[in-house]
Amino acid sequence: MRDDREDVYSKAVRAGKRTYFFDVKSTRGRDLYLTITESKKHTHEDGSAHYDKHKIFLYKEDFDKFFDGLQDAINEIDRLKASGEYGNGPEQGPREGGTDAPPFSDVNFEDLDRKDI
């Protein structure tokens, strides 16, 4: 039997020691779903590295509810920060762009095509 599943779209977002992957895929029945993967690099004392990965599968019937929940949580974070209760309030600058974090340039994606992970 032929496997008609396919990768439709992929976006990698680097954020410090973490990289987030947003992958749109298609099922055999041509339905779309989203996988969100967090990959975090850990370096051992000998210089070798490994990656911890966590993956969420988000199916089309849940897209709107997931988006609404995420938007509500982000709005609440913005409200709490603006109130001064939590860090990065208005006096500390915007949250966007990760301005407090150093740029991350040591990215190694060698294990991304491995099927055993």
State pTM to two decimals: 0.63
Q: Give the model confidence (pLDDT) of 7-22 as tens digits.
A: 999 999 999 889 999 9
Would you say 57 and 31 are in contact if contact means Cβ atoms under 8 Å apart?
no
Compute, in degrees rounded to 10, the torsion defined by CA atoms 79, 16, 65, 32.
160
Write down the domain spans for the chain.
Answer: 6-98
Helical H runs in the chain?
A: 63-83
Q: What's the CA gap between 59 and 26, in Å, rounded?
A: 10
> What would the CATH number be for the domain defined by 6-98?
3.10.450.700
Residue 85 has pLDDT above 70, yes or no: yes
**What pLDDT does 95 receive?**
47
First to last CA, the chain: 24
Would you say 81 and 66 are in contact if contact means Cβ atoms under 8 Å apart?
no
Q: Give the model confidence (pLDDT) of 96-116 as tens digits.
A: 554 444 444 455 555 555 555
